[in-house]
Amino acid sequence: MFYAQERVVGVIENDADSKPISNVHVINLNSVVGTISNKEGVFEIDANVNDTLFFSYLGFKSIKIRVTNDLIRFKNTKIKLTELAYALEEIIVTPYKLTGYLEIDAKNVPISNSYRYSIPGLPTKGYEAGSRNPGAISKVFGAIFNPVDFLYNLFGKKPKQLKKLQLMKDDFRIRELLNTKFDRETLVELLQIQKFDLDEILRNCSYSESFIVGANDLQILEAISQCYEEFKLLNRK
C-alpha cells in the first residue's frame, strides 16, 4: 500500500549552548533523500512514520532519529547535536630532499604503483591493482569466469541496500556531504553494511590499499557503484 510522505520540519541546535547550527546534512535513510539546515538551523525533509533521519555535521557526533507522528505534527522540534572532542596526535612531515636539479629530483620523488586495467566489453574505466597485490589483475579475470564466487557473498547479502547506490549518486545533497567525508560513516548507515564490508568489496574489485585508505566517501561510493554494476552484468551472463 502506498502512503503519501509527510513533511518533517525541525530546528537543529548545539546541545552546549542551544544556538542553531546551519549547513547540517539531514538524510532520510529509507528514501535516500537529503537536505541541509538553513542559517536558523531549520530543516525540512519528506518522510514517513518509522523512517530514520540521519544528522551529520563536521565536528559534531552524528545521530539517527526515528520519525514519529509527533515529529511530523510539531513543526519546531529541536534536534540537539553534541560536539566532538578531538585529540590531535603529533604529525611529523618528512619533506623530499630536493636538490634543484630536475633530473636528480625526479628520481627521488615516490611514484605511485597503482595501475588500472580495463576489459573490453565491460562498462568500466578499469580495475585498479596496487602494490599490495601485483597479481591483482588475475582477480579480475577470476571475476569474469567465477562471478558468483567473486562477489556474490558481498553483494548478495544486501541487495536492497545496494540498490540505493543510484539514489545516493542522484541526490546532490548526499554527494555534497560524501565529498567532504572520509570516515565511511554515512555510507555505512545508508547501505547498512559494515565498514569492513566496504573495504572488502573494494579489495575484491581490485582497488589498491592506497585508494581504499585515501579516497573520500564520494569516491568510495562511485567505486562501489561501478563494481556493483559490473557484478550484475557478469552475473546475468
pLDDT digits (tens, 9 = 90+) for 171-206: 999 999 999 999 999 999 998 888 888 888 888 888
Within the chain, which residue ranges are assigned CATH 2.60.40.1120? Answer: 6-81
What pLDDT score was predicted for residue 200?
83
Query: pLDDT below 70 — which residues of the chain?
Result: 1-4, 86-154, 156-158, 234-237
Phi, psi of 66 (to 5 degrees): -80, 135
Fold classified for 6-81: Immunoglobulin-like (2.60.40)
Q: 52-78, pLDDT tens digit by residue?
A: 999 999 899 999 999 999 999 998 899
pLDDT of residue 39: 96
What distance lies between CA 87 and its chain's CA centroid? 24
CB 179 within 8 A of CB 54: no
216: exposed, middle or buried (C-beta count within 10 Å: 0-12, 13-18, 19+)? middle
Distance, CA of 136 to CA of 141 (rounded, Å) = 9
Check: pTM over 0.75? Answer yes or no.
no
What value, to the nearest 5°, has the Cα angle with vertex 221 and ends 220 and 223? 65
Q: What is the structure's pLDDT at 26?
A: 97
